Amino acid sequence: MTLNNFNSEVRDSDIAIIGMSVNVPGAKNIDEFWQNLKNGVESIQFFSTEEVLASGVKPELAYDPNYVKAKAVVDDIDKFDAEFFGIHPREAEISDPQHRLFLECARSALEISGYDSQSYDGLIGVYASAGISRYYLQNIYGNSELLKIFFT
């Protein structure tokens, strides 16, 4: 039963969002993200022709006037702590970087909430979502040498 517009009776089925986490281009946490939104910060990085050539882009593409030399870069994507998450380092090495980032964000949201799942008497859950990942098909599946190393 609703008591008024700002306060309602608490039910066992009620949930509260008490922590949020992001790690996106230009913002490693929710505070930086909101500041960027508020201040209109452009988080896409732009690169010179020399920089894209050095990164492996073919010259015919790098010099194409329609080629946009920009990318949304997430910093420290290579800093995943596999041991912390109970993942074998070799498995983490070939896992989708977005999946690793997803795990870090889920853990961060739990930490930000301020609730200790080891000592809290109630239930604590992290609700998150993701789209389909094609990482395995695009980067692992066709590499028979890598598959031999990791899956034999």
85 located within any domain: yes
Beta strands in 1-128 (DSSP E): 45-46, 70-71
Both 83 and 142 in a single domain? Answer: yes
Clarify whether residues 83 and 46 are in a common domain.
no
Whether 135 is covered by a domain: the verdict is yes
**Residues 39, 81: one domain?**
no
Task: Tell whether 100 is covered by a domain.
Answer: yes
Is 101 found in the same domain as 65? no
Q: Which two tokens stand for residue 17?
A: 């969002």
The residue among 75, 99, 120 that closes a domain is: 75
Count other C-beta atoms under 10 Å from residue 2's C-beta: 8
User: How many domains, in total, are found in the chain?
Assistant: 2
| Domain match, 56 and 103 both | no
CB 98 within 8 A of CB 130: yes
23 CB neighbour count, 10 Å cutoff: 19
Radius of gyration of the chain (CA): 21
Amino acid 8: pLDDT: 64
Name the stretches of the chain with pLDDT < 50: 1-4
* 100 and 71 co-located in one domain: no
- Can you give the pLDDT at residue 4? 46
38 inside domain: yes
Of 25, 150, 58, 152, the residue nearest 95 (C-alpha):
150
How far is the C-alpha of 133 from the C-alpha of 152, rounded, in Å? 24
- What's the pLDDT score for residue 103? 92
Residues 47 and 65 reside in one and the same domain: yes
Say if residue 60 is in the same domain as residue 113: no
Q: For residue 6, what pLDDT is reported?
A: 53
Q: Tell whether 92 is covered by a domain.
A: yes
The answer to pTM > 0.75 is no
Same-domain status, 50 and 99 = no
Please give the Cα distance from 44 to 62 (Å, whole number).
18
Dist. CA 122–CA 84, nearest whole Å: 24
pLDDT digits 0-9 by tens, 29-60: 999 999 999 999 999 999 999 999 999 999 99
Asked if residue 11 belongs to a domain, the reply is: no
Q: Give the number of other CB atoms < 10 A from CB of residue 62.
A: 19
Quote the pLDDT of residue 87: 94
**Could you list the residue range(s) of the whole structural domain that residue 138 is in?**
76-152
- Answer yes or no: do 95 and 40 share one domain: no
Phi–psi pair at 100, nearest 5 degrees: -60, -45
- Residues 102 and 138 placed together within one structural domain of the fold: yes
